[in-house]
A and B are shown apart, each in its own frame.
Chain A
Amino acid sequence: MMNQSKPTIVWFQAITCNGNTHSLLSSNSNRFELFLNSFNLIYHPSLTINNSLEYILENQKEIDFLLVEGSISSNEFIFSISNDSSKNLLEKLALRSKYIIAVGSCASFGGIHAKFTQNDDICGIKEALENNNLQTLIHPIINLSGCPVHPEWIFQTLFSLKTFGKIDLDEVGRPKELYSTLAHHGCTRNEYFEWKVEGNFGQKEGCLFYNQGCRGPMTHSSCNKILWNEISSKTRVGMPCIGCTETDFPRNNMLETKKNMGIPQEVPLGISKRAYLSISGVAKTFKIDRLHKKLME
C-alpha cells in the first residue's frame, strides 16, 4: 500500500459505527484493487497498515485526501482518541490536507450522534472546521452522505478528483454526479407508484411510499442506479428508502408514512400537493388487475 508516487489517503475515524468502512470493504474486488493500486492509503484504523495515527500526525506533512468517517465532537468525555478529542485531531489533519471528504452521513451532517440532546456540539466535519483557515485545502469539503455511503461513490469521487482535480457539488456539498437524481429513479416499483398500489415491507409487489415511509421520491441518491453489491437496493428487496443521504437523517418513525386524513404529509420533491393529489385521484380511479396480483403465485 505504500507508494509515494500515488496520491495519499488518510482515513480518519471519529464517532462512528464503522458502517462506511464495512461498506468500503464490501466493494467490488476489482474496483477495490484498482483503488489500492491508484492511491496510497497510508492510514486506516481498521486495516493492517504500518502507520499509526500518531505517526501520521508527527510525520505526514501533506495529505492529498483526508477521508473522515463519523461525526465530530470537541468533548473528550464523549469520545476521544489517544486522549485527544475528535475535533482537535480533525483540525490537525485538515490543516495539512488538499481535499477533505466526509464519508457517510455522520461525517457529512452529524447523523444519529448529533441527535443526542445531552451534547450539543456533535456535528459534521464542515461545521466542525468552519472556524479554521484551511490554507492547504484546494477544494470545498465534499459530503458523501449515506448510511452507509455506497463504496462506488467513494471510488468515483476519488478518481474524479485524481483525474480532474474538481467535482461539481450541490448546495449541501454532495457531488452532483451521484446525488442529483432521486432514489426513486430506477426503482423497480415505479409502476406501482404511478398507479398508487400500496405494498408491504419485504414483499416484491407494491409501492412502499404510501404506508411504509419510503423516501425514494424525495431523497437525492443514486441507490437505484448504482446498485448495492451490483445487484440490488433497499427498495428492490422491499425495504423503504429511509432518506439516509439527506441532512435531516435520521428522522423519527422512519418506517411509516406520516399522513394527515389519509393523505401523505410530504409529496414527491418539487411537486405541489395540489398537483400530486389531482394525479393520485385519477390514478386511483383505475384498478389495474395485474398490479394487484402476486408476481409469482
Chain B
Amino acid sequence: MKMSVGNMYNYFSSKEELAKFAIKYSTNILAEELREVNNMDITSKKKIYLFVKKYLENVQKSPEIIEYFLRVYLSNREVFKQGCEGFLCVGEFVTEVMILLDDGAQKKEFREQEFFPAFGMIMGCLGGFAFLSGENVLDKDLLSYSDAVAENIYRALKYDESV
C-alpha cells in the first residue's frame, strides 16, 4: 500500500476503528457473494456447493482476508468490544446465512433445527478449512476439497424424511 502509516490516521481515528473497518470490509465480500448465491433460482444444496467454492476461492486468492477474520477478529475480542460486539460488524454475512438456512428449511430441503447450531456448524467447517490451508498442511489443492466440504455441510443440514 503506497501510504505512510501516519496517513492512515487521516482516515481512521484509531487502530480500533481501522480494525473494525477491516472486518466489515472482509465479511462484506463474503456477504455479497452469498447474497448473489441466495438470489439464484437453484436448490439449497447447489447454493451450499456454490458458496463453499466461492469461499475457498477467496481463501486461496486473498488469504489475508480470511486470516484476518480468524487470527485477528476472533482472537482479539477486546479490540472489537466497542461498536463491533455481537453481530454488529458481521451482520450482513450472518443475515445471508440466515436467509440460506431459512429458505432451505421452508422448502423442506433442510431439516428443522435451531439457528445457532446450524450456523456454528457451517462456520466451524469453513473456518477450519481456512486454518488448514493457512497452515499449509493440506496435501491437495484447496479447491479440490470444495465438493467434499460442501457435501459435509449439506448432510448436516439436509431434511430427514424418517423423522
A contact residues vs B (CB 8 Å cutoff)? 260-263, 265, 273-274, 277-278, 281-282, 284-286
B55 within 8 A of A: no
Give me 13 other A-B pairs in contact (C-beta within 8 A), A263-B98, A265-B102 excluded: A260-B102, A261-B98, A261-B101, A261-B115, A263-B102, A273-B99, A274-B95, A277-B95, A281-B87, A281-B98, A282-B86, A282-B87, A285-B88
Chain A nearest CB from B132 CB (Å) reads 27
Option from A263, A265, A273, A282 in Cβ contact (under 8 Å) with B115: A263
- Is there an interface contact between B105 and A261, defined as CB atoms closer than 8 Å? yes
B94-111 CB contacts (< 8 Å) to partner A? 94-96, 98-99, 101-102, 105-106, 110
Residues in B whose Cβ lies below 8 Å from that of A278: 91-92, 95
Partner of A281, one of B35, B91, B110: B91
A278 and B98 CA atoms in complex are apart in Å by 10
Q: Is the CB of B91 within 8 A of A261?
A: no
Nearest opposing residue in chain B for A261, CB measure: B101
25 sampled A-B residue pairs with Cβ under 8 A: A260-B102, A260-B112, A261-B102, A261-B105, A261-B110, A261-B112, A261-B113, A262-B113, A262-B114, A263-B102, A265-B106, A274-B35, A274-B95, A274-B99, A277-B95, A277-B98, A278-B91, A278-B92, A281-B86, A281-B91, A282-B87, A282-B88, A284-B86, A284-B87, A285-B88
Q: How far is the CA of A142 from the CA of B85 in the complex (A)?
A: 52
Contact partner, A285, options B85, B98, B110, B115, Cβ 8 Å = B85
> Which of B35, B92, B98, B105 has the largest number of chain A CB atoms within 10 A?
B98
B29 contacts A by Cβ under 8 Å? no
Taking beta carbons and an 8 Å cutoff, which residues of B are in contact with A?
35, 85-88, 91-92, 94-96, 98-99, 101-102, 105-106, 110, 112-116, 118
The verdict on A281 contacting B94 (CB below 8 Å), with A261-B112, A261-B118 known, is yes
Could you say which residues of chain A place their CB within 8 Å of the CB of B92? 278
Asked if A286 contacts B86 (CB within 8 A), the reply is: yes
Nearest-CB distance from B64 to chain A (Å)? 26
CA distance in complex: A282, B92 (Å): 10
User: Bound complex: CA of A282 vs CA of B86, how far in Å?
Assistant: 8
Among B87, B95, B105, B116, point to the contact of A260 (Cβ < 8 A): B105
A262 and B115 form a contact (CB under 8 A): yes
Residues of B within 8 A of A262 (CB): 113-116
Residues of B within 8 A of A274 (CB): 35, 95-96, 99
Would you call A281 and B95 a contact (CB within 8 A)? yes
CB distance from B105 to the nearest CB of A (A): 3
Q: Which residue of B lies closest to A264 (CB)?
A: B102
